[in-house]
Amino acid sequence: MAHEVKVPTLGESVAEATVGEWLKQPGDAVAVDEPIASLETDKVAVEVPSPVAGVLQEHSVAVGDTVEVGALLAVIEEGATGGASGEEADRAKEQREEGQEKREDSAASPAKQETSEAAYDAAQSLSPAVRRAVLEHGVDPSTIKGTGKDGRLTKEDVVKAAEAKKDGGGSVADAAPQQARQIDAGAQGDGGTSGRNEERVKMTRMRQTIAKRLKGAQDNAALLTTFNDCDMSAVIEARTKYKDLFAKKHDIRLGFMGFFAKAACLALKDVPAANAYIEGDDIVYHDYVDISVAVSAPNGLVVPVIRDADKKGFARIEKDIADFGSRAKEGTLTMEDMKGGTFTISNGGVFGSLMSTPIINPPQSAVLGLHRIEDRPVVVDGEIVIRPMMYLALSYDHRLIDGREAVTALKIIKEAIEDPTRMLIDL
């Protein structure tokens, strides 16, 4: 019996999504609840599970199509087992043969054809970000061991494989897949020399949304950034002294983010405007702190939320952050994970950033930017000493937050980090 698979409910106020990739092809056997497709919404990638066991009969939409909630995605022949037969198998065969012909037409040489075909076949189960990384680095995805969910490849896996290939003396450029669009310099009259490649990739729905929201923040808010620097000696000393006991008791690593999250809670309590937002002609204040933590995911930056951070201890905050990071890498964050948030912390220091002007996450009115720690000469008690220093940046909506309030909030965070005891006695 044929069973229709439709676009599921995607979350509050989310009415449509883009088909990111098909995880199962026509003719493939599927089990109950096994993911068959990945849909990209404004914030997350959502996997669509099969409601029945059987064989995937056909795709009703293609990768890149926009689909609404309730739209038909695929048809599954319920109860069938093993490989497909009949029309389903013929259709799958035709699709493979068509792809084979396209690859043969584009191959420049037998050696490159082999690489291209292997990359093409393996790429059918890759996410858009991983697929693009494969094309950029010219690696064969079928030879890489995935570290993501269910052994799937991540962008980091591809980058590491490319670096290993370089270290081994191979040329990544020599193995570039033929799917990349090549510009023939000879056509421009240079005597037939070629080599410069160009690739056009459609923006994912998530990247489009990020672009719109960030541009909207610039257009609608009066953005300003205030800076300070922070001596990290006390926090580093505390981590060094207690990290083993902390890990043993809580089964989680003691990081820096817990300190900054708790310090931010102190600042937002004393400067409530930094934990508020503008709605029409009103200012909406919160008596709680939900901290959005900027996390890098394969498809772009996501901001899952630590709920009630002001009421949580260091261990719970660190566990939440570790869970967010792991699920962002696997692409399993949900809409609920990123809903709301009253204040954001973005740590560019993990990528080596010395200083930046972070942009607010609408409708929030402030964001704290963290940066790399480096030894710098500073004056303490009239003497020049070397201390581990970090630049802090607080970007804020000047329509709501005055300069004095912004400077005060950042100063409270700085003082709490330089003297962590303040966080224990609420100073």
Please tell me the total number of residues recorded for the chain in this structure.
Answer: 427
Of 178, 198, 218, the last residue of a domain is: 198
Do both 220 and 365 map to the same domain? Answer: yes
Mean pLDDT of 272-282: 94
Do both 57 and 121 map to the same domain? Answer: no
Strand partners, 375: 388
When pLDDT is cut at 50, 70 and 90, the band that residue 304 belongs to is very high
The catalytic site residues sit at 398, 402
> What local confidence, expressed as pLDDT, does residue 93 receive?
44
pLDDT surpassing 90 at residue 269: yes
pLDDT surpassing 80 at residue 179: no
CATH at residue 248: 3.30.559.10
Classify residue 39: in a domain, yes or no: yes
> What local confidence, expressed as pLDDT, does residue 122 receive?
43
Do both 237 and 151 map to the same domain? Answer: no
- Cα end-to-end span (Å), the chain: 67
Classify residue 95: in a domain, yes or no: no
Of 198, 219, 238, the last residue of a domain is: 198
Do both 213 and 184 map to the same domain? Answer: no
Look at residue 360 and give its three-state secondary structure. Answer: coil
pLDDT tens per residue, range 68-81: 888 888 998 887 66
Mean pLDDT of 299-315: 88
Mean pLDDT of 161-167: 78
> What local confidence, expressed as pLDDT, does residue 224 receive?
95
Mean pLDDT of 115-138: 56
DSSP string spanning 361-373? -TT--EEEEE---
Amino acid at position 282, single letter = D
Tell me the residue range of the domain where 6 lies: 2-78
Do both 124 and 261 map to the same domain? Answer: no
For the chain, state the CA radius of gyration. 26
Q: Is 29 exposed, middle or buried (0-12, 13-18, 19+ CB in 10 A)?
A: middle
Do both 250 and 383 map to the same domain? Answer: yes
- Specify the number of domains making up the chain: 3
Classify residue 98: in a domain, yes or no: no
> What local confidence, expressed as pLDDT, does residue 100 receive?
46
Classify residue 30: in a domain, yes or no: yes
> What local confidence, expressed as pLDDT, does residue 344 receive?
95
Mean pLDDT of 339-351: 91
> 33-37, 102-106, 266-270: which has the highest mean pLDDT?
266-270
pLDDT tens per residue, range 12-49: 667 778 888 888 888 888 888 888 888 877 667 778 88
Do both 234 and 305 map to the same domain? Answer: yes
Average pLDDT of the residues of the chain: 80
Classify residue 193: in a domain, yes or no: yes
Classify residue 242: in a domain, yes or no: yes
**More confident call, 390 vs 179:** 390
pLDDT surpassing 80 at residue 101: no
CATH at residue 9: 2.40.50.100
Token couple for 181: 């669009």
Helix%, strand%, coil% for the chain, nearest 5:
40, 25, 35
Q: Which of 161-170, 237-246, 293-302, 407-416 is predicted with the least confidence, judged by mean pLDDT?
A: 161-170
Do both 341 and 413 map to the same domain? Answer: yes
Among left, alpha and beta (phi > 0; psi -120 to 50; other), residue 13 is left
Classify residue 85: in a domain, yes or no: no
Q: Are 86 and 107 in contact (CB under 8 A)?
A: no
CATH at residue 169: 4.10.320.10
Give the contacts of 214 (CB within 8 A, at least 6 positions apart). 359
Do both 268 and 370 map to the same domain? Answer: yes
> What local confidence, expressed as pLDDT, does residue 340 receive?
86
Classify residue 238: in a domain, yes or no: yes
